[in-house]
Amino acid sequence: MGRCLEVLEGLAAQGSIEVLKFFCSFLVENFEKMKKAEVIDDLERFLAKKPMASLERLKEKLEREWTEEAILIFLKSTEKSLERTTDYAAKLLRGKVVLTLSNSVTLRDTFLKAKEISVFVQESLPGGEGKVLFESLRENGIEAFLIPDALCFRYLREVDACVIGADYVYPSGDVLNKVGSATLAVLCEHFRKPFLVVADPSKFGKRFPKETELFERVPSKLITAILTDPEGGTVC
C-alpha cells in the first residue's frame, strides 16, 4: 500500500471536503518526497473503492500539472466555490423549516449562514451521523431537533422542504448520499415538498459509483433542484 493510499484510507470516515483539505496539505508538506506516478496510482486505487468527485478532479489536475502551486490553487478554488454555494443556499433557505439527515460540512455551513432556520435532523442510522450535525447546530445557536429515522414521515408533513448534501453527483444528475435519502425523496414527492440537494461543483463527477450498504442513489427525477455555485465555479 502506498503512503498516499494509507493516508486516504485513514480518512474514509470524513466528508469529501475534509478529506480534500487534509490530503492537499499532506501532499504540499511532503511534495519533495512524492513521485507523481505513485500519487496518481494511489488516488485511482482509493477512488475505485470510494468514489469522491473532488479527488477525481485533483487527480486530473495533477496529471496535467505536477506542482505544489497547482495543488494550492486547486484547493483555494474549491474552497471559494464551496463558500459561494453555501451563501447561495443559505439565502434560499432563510426563514424555512427543513428536514435533513446525516452529517455534512456543506449543510452545516449553509444552515449557520441562514441563521433564521429550524432544522429537524434524522439520527441517520447506521452510523448516527445526524447527531454530530445536530450538536454542531445547537452549539452555534441554530434551532435544531434530533429525531428518530422512523418518524421522518410524521415530521416531513410539517416542514417547508427536505435538504440533503451529496457525496457524489453523477453525470446524469442522480445523487449518491447516505442511506435514507431516497426514502425522503419519495416521501417528498408524495407530500409535494421540495427535495433539495446542496452540492458545490467539486461534488460533480464523471463516474457512476455503485451503491453500498451505507450509500444509495437518488434518481434525478425525484430531485427538485441541486443548489450549487451560482457563478458556475470550477475546481479545474
Q: Could you give the CA distance from residue 176 to residue 217 in angstroms, rounded to a whole number? A: 4
What pLDDT shows up at residue 11? Answer: 81
Least confidently predicted of 157-161, 177-181, 183-187, 211-215 = 211-215
The answer to whether 40 and 63 have CB atoms below 8 angstroms apart is: yes
Q: Give the model's confidence band at 150: pLDDT under 50 very low, under 70 low, under 90 confident, else very high.
A: very high
Write the CATH number for 222.
3.40.50.10470
Does 73 share its domain with 13? yes
Q: Give the model's confidence band at 236: pLDDT under 50 very low, under 70 low, under 90 confident, else very high.
A: very low
User: Is pLDDT above 60 for 199?
Assistant: yes
Q: Give the model's confidence band at 52: pLDDT under 50 very low, under 70 low, under 90 confident, else very high.
A: confident
234 part of a folded domain: no
Q: Give the model's confidence band at 13: pLDDT under 50 very low, under 70 low, under 90 confident, else very high.
A: low
What pLDDT shows up at residue 232? Answer: 75
> What is the SS3 assignment for 118?
strand
> What is the SS3 assignment for 145?
strand
User: Is pLDDT above 60 for 234?
Assistant: no
Number of domains in the chain: 2
Q: Which of 129, 134, 146, 198 is nearest to 169 (CA)?
A: 198
Q: Which of 119, 121, 102 is nearest to 111 (CA)?
A: 119
Q: Could you give the CA distance from residue 135 to residue 145 in angstroms, rounded to a whole number? A: 9
Q: Could you give the CA distance from residue 137 to residue 13 in angstroms, rounded to a whole number? A: 20
Pairing of β 161-164 and β 97-100: parallel
How many other β-carbons are positioned within 10 Å of the β-carbon of residue 126? Answer: 11
For 86, the domain range is 81-227
What pLDDT shows up at residue 51? Answer: 81
Query: Which of the given ranges, 6-10, 14-18, 195-199, has the highest pLDDT on average?
Result: 195-199
Does 120 share its domain with 166? yes
Does 109 share its domain with 212? yes
Q: Give the model's confidence band at 149: pLDDT under 50 very low, under 70 low, under 90 confident, else very high.
A: very high
Q: Which of 115, 104, 119, 175 is nearest to 140 (CA)?
A: 115
**N residues, the chain:** 236
Does 46 share its domain with 146? no
Report the pLDDT averaged over residues 63-92. 96
Q: Which of 184, 212, 213, 211 is nearest to 121 (CA)?
A: 184
Least confidently predicted of 9-13, 76-80, 176-180, 209-213 = 9-13
Q: Could you give the CA distance from residue 3 to residue 71 in angstroms, rounded to a whole number? A: 18
What pLDDT shows up at residue 125? Answer: 95
